[in-house]
Structure 1
Amino acid sequence: MIKKIKKNRYTEVYALGQHICMSAHKARRVIDQIRGRSYEETLMILELMPYRACYPIFKLVYSAAANASHNMGFNEASLVISKAEVNQSTTVKKLKPRARGRSYAIKRPSCYITIVLKDISLNDEEFKRSQDSLLCLKKPGWINKKKKYTDMTSYDMYNNGGLWDKK
């Protein structure tokens, strides 16, 4: 069962997966790898990792991105996983019959996974606005001028990455 929740109406979108049948410890091993990464990079990492926990986390990240683009109109290329947490949920306890009439307890743990995506393009716009306000505080233009080379002699192979730049 997957729930979708919007938290901060302007920048963040949630996706919450409840009662996912796996240990919280095993899910945290995967979540720690994707925290703070971009949406597209996260999908590539989750597809290539060999753990069973990757599939439900992949579905949650994909669901949160679909929620962000449909409900909020965010661009998927500018989404970043700002918060990802795994919490322990209920444990299903069963009894398995064993030899001599004894029973053996089987514990099936489950967990809650929360994925929060943040749109960084909105932060870039705020950053640009703050930079525009700081432009008036800069030094005069004649102090900040640097010598610019326009002839081709300054562009040698050591400054531009050398011969190995071209493929």
Structure 2
Amino acid sequence: MEAVAKLKSVPMSARKMRLVVDLIRGKSAEEALDILRFTKKEAAVWLEKLVLSAVANWEVKTGESADEYDLFIKAISADDGSMLKRFRPAPHGRAHRIRKRTTHVNLIVANRAELSASAQAEDAVEVESVEE
């Protein structure tokens, strides 16, 4: 079972967000929250809320508590969002462009036990088909 959470139009560049996203990719939900709580970047605050939202979405979707299951971050990506373009005066009557970047973050949380059980079931089916 998977649950999805999305964060759109975060007023931060995708490059800055990816620095923190790479820290938590593939980790368990609890470990990711611990990492985010002790990371001194603004992106960590946004991502902590996103992970909590994804876990809550999983609980609502399954109707069970997440404490009993081994939830992990199956996939997370930080992509460029829309960009506000502004101009700032520069010397000699020129203008320099300012790009105010935004980011979209997609997060998928899954149960590790279900994935391993389904992988074992697929392996058993493949073995049976090979034996026949």
**TM-score using structure 1 length:** 0.64
Deviation of 1:96 (Å): 2.4
Task: Give the share of equivalent positions with the same residue, in percent.
Answer: 28
Match of 1:49 among 25, 39, 42: 39
**Higher RCO, Cα 8 Å, sep 6+:** 2
Return the structure number with greater strand share: 2
Judge conservation of contact 2:5–2:54 (CA < 8 Å) in 1. Answer: yes
Deviation of 1:105 (Å): 1.9
- The SS at the match of 1:70 is helix
Map 1:91-102 → 2, pairs under 5 A: 91-98=83-90, 101-102=93-94
Match of 1:103 among 85, 92, 95: 95
**TM-score using structure 2 length:** 0.80
Matched, 1:69 2:59: yes
Match of 2:2 among 2, 12, 22: 12
Q: In 2, Cα distance between the equivalents of 1:74 and 1:28?
A: 31
Judge conservation of contact 1:74–1:119 (CA < 8 Å) in 2. Answer: no
Number of the residue aligned with 1:118: 110
Letter in 2 for 1:67: N
**Gap runs ≥5 in structure 1:** 1-10, 131-167
Cα deviation, 1:78-110, whole Å, max 9, x if unaligned, reads 210000111111111112234554433211111
Query: What do you get for the CA RMSD once the two structures are aligned?
Result: 2.6
Counterparts in 2 of 1:129 and 1:96: CA distance versus 1, 3 Å: closer
Judge conservation of contact 2:3–2:61 (CA < 8 Å) in 1. Answer: no
Counterparts in 2 of 1:74 and 1:80: CA distance versus 1, 3 Å: farther
**Gap runs ≥5 in structure 2:** 123-132
